[in-house]
Amino acid sequence: MQTAVPLQLEHARFIRSLRSVRRFAPTPIPDAVLRDVLDIARWTGSSKNTQPWELIVVRERDRLRELAACGTFASHLAGAAVGLVLVMDDEQRRLDEGRLAQNVMLAAWAYGIGSCIGTLQPDENVERARALLGVAAGRGLRTALSLGYPADERALRRSLEPGASGVPIGRKPMKDFVSWERFGQRQPG
């Protein structure tokens, strides 16, 4: 019997390779590729399979610029080929919202499309985004994703360069974030 380890390692490497991309090339995303990314998103798991979301695809440049102004760290939306806005059934679906965002980002990355999460905030900006996109009150509206082909190689490396953004680079060692059996109990050795 053959082992699946090489394929599993390839998947693990792919997941580890995901980077946030904030600078995009002017290349449009083909409709077939975008539709496949959206279809993959459709298969995201959710609590009790409620699928408590809808997506708004934003391609219009002026609308992307306006949306970029609706978040304190959402400026990357202005240069994206596509903005995807996650509209949740209500504000209580944050776990499902995160699962959906991550799946969209991984699906896009499989096509070489970069992405970045933009949080719509504070509340006044959320209301501006509601009006801009026609989203009714009561629906959860906090997350927008920018999608586009990376502008260049540096667009993929920015988070790897010390001090490039003021954001820490790398990852904590496992010994610093994994507890065994009880909180704070580290694995010996």
Say if CB 120 and CB 143 are below 8 A apart: yes
Instruction: Write the class of the CATH domain 19-161.
Output: alpha beta
Domain chopping of the chain, boundaries: 19-161
Find where tokens 């501006």 sit. Answer: 128
DSSP character at residue 94: H
Q: CA–CA separation, 143 vs 96, rounded Å?
A: 12
What was the pLDDT predicted at 152? 84
Tens of pLDDT along the chain (189 residues)?
555 677 788 888 888 878 889 999 999 999 999 999 999 999 999 999 999 999 999 999 999 999 999 998 899 999 999 999 999 999 899 999 999 999 999 999 999 999 999 999 999 999 999 999 999 999 999 999 999 999 888 887 654 455 555 555 677 888 888 888 888 888 875
**56 — alpha (psi -120 to 50), left (phi > 0) or beta?**
beta
3-state DSSP call for residue 41? helix
Strand partners, 54: 87
What was the pLDDT predicted at 52? 93
The token pair that represents 110 in the structure block: 């499989």
Which letter, b or e, does each residue of 11-20 get, where b requires 16 or more Cβ atoms within 10 Å of its Cβ? eeeeeeeebb
What was the pLDDT predicted at 160? 47
Closest residue by Cα to residue 147 from 95, 110, 96: 110
Q: CA–CA separation, 88 vs 3, rounded Å?
A: 40
- What's this model's pTM, rounded to 2 decimal places? 0.86
Q: How far is CA 135 from CA 78, 88, 110, 129, 147, in A?
A: 20, 10, 30, 8, 21
DSSP character at residue 134: T
